[in-house]
Structure 1
Amino acid sequence: MTINIGITEKNRKHITNELSKILADEFVLFTKTKKAHWNVEGIDFYEKHNFFEAQANQIDEFIDNIAERIRTLGHYTPASLKSYLELTQLAEPISKYDSQSLINALLADHEIIIIQLRRNINIFANDYDDPGTSDFITGLMKDHEKMAWFLRSLLK
């Protein structure tokens, strides 16, 4: 069935390609955050264990919302580890399990995602005529900025 929502198929394809990259980054960040949740060690274990779990749960919601936005625009979502690793710009490994090392690694990833989202806000609205997705990723960027602030605050 033809989708007629005021965005050309070509533009919807460009948008969903970028959203697929964002989805991959979110999935890798989710996995790394769960790894931090499961493996954190140190005197602050319990506090950071719970903190990382809360952040992982929030990222899990982001993943679902991004996948649903891709489907709303009429395309299928990538949904394999192989595709995520091909699409992501994040490095996967974490090798130190003290809370400070984990926080630094996750903070760097949030900042990479924030920059990518910020770059796409105007492109989606102006170049691809999709203010809806632009608004969606603006909200996502603000959520990541807040999560990064929380992580940054733990480093002081």
Structure 2
Amino acid sequence: MASTASVLKPEAHESKLNTGLSEQYRSEMADSLSEILATTYKLTIKSHIYHWNVVGPLFRSLHELTEEHYNELFEATDTIAERVRAIGFLAPERVADAAAFSPSGKAIANLTAEDMVNDLIHDHEEAVRAMRDAGEIAGDANDLVTEDMLTQRLTFHEKALWMLRAIVSK
């Protein structure tokens, strides 16, 4: 009889899938989606921290916008991680990396609302570039589900960029 620990141990099932997507493609896409997931977490955390700490005349609009964003981004992390699982790989655990991209209290104390928005713009653009590249690869591989998921995520990020840029436009 198998022990409880061995039964509960998560396991990838990449070699057991026969869905029309090659193992090599799925492995490479799982890596790409894992990076996108890390970028999404980064934006979730920054958006939440900026939500709490923004001050000045842009406070209300940024406070509300960043709340909308971090809620949407948090939901997206589940969608992305579940896609990694669906293509046969374990969802990555990169929570320990959060300290590397979370703004520190000292850094936040010196940021203006405009600085925060520009930082978020930078990170959203990074996410868009990665998603666009992965989406193109997914399309070429006829991975319609991943391509569609990334298209939906791109729609969110491009709208977020439009709104953030509008806030800091001069």
Partner of 1:93: 103
Aligned residues: 151
- Contact 1:28–1:84 under 8 Å retained in 2: yes
Partner of 2:37: 23
- Contact 1:37–1:53 under 8 Å retained in 2: yes
User: TM-score w.r.t. structure 2 length?
Assistant: 0.80
Alignment partner of 1:122 is 2:132: no
Say what the alpha-carbon RMSD is for the aligned residues.
2.0
- Unaligned runs of 5+ residues in structure 2 are 1-12
Q: Tell me how far apart the structure 1 counterparts of residues 46 and 67 of structure 2 sit (CA, whole Å).
A: 11
Q: Tell me how far apart the structure 1 counterparts of residues 58 and 125 of structure 2 sit (CA, whole Å).
A: 24
Q: Within 5 Å, which residues of 2 pair with 1:5-154?
A: 5-82=19-96, 92-93=102-103, 95=107, 96-126=110-140, 128-154=141-167
Amino acid at match of 2:58: D
Q: Tell me how far apart the structure 2 counterparts of residues 11 and 21 of structure 1 sit (CA, whole Å).
A: 15
Q: Tell me how far apart the structure 2 counterparts of residues 43 and 58 of structure 1 sit (CA, whole Å).
A: 25
**Cα deviation, residue 92, structure 1:** 4.5
Amino acid at match of 1:48: L
- Contact 2:84–2:90 under 8 Å retained in 1: yes
> Deviation per CA, 1:118-152, whole angstroms, max 9, x where unpaired?
122221221x4423212211221121001110101
**Cα deviation, residue 9, structure 1:** 1.8
User: Whose radius of gyration is greater, 1 or 2?
Assistant: 2
> Deviation per CA, 1:38-92, whole angstroms, max 9, x where unpaired?
1111233233222211111111111111011111111111123235679xxxx55
Q: Secondary structure at the match of 1:58?
A: helix
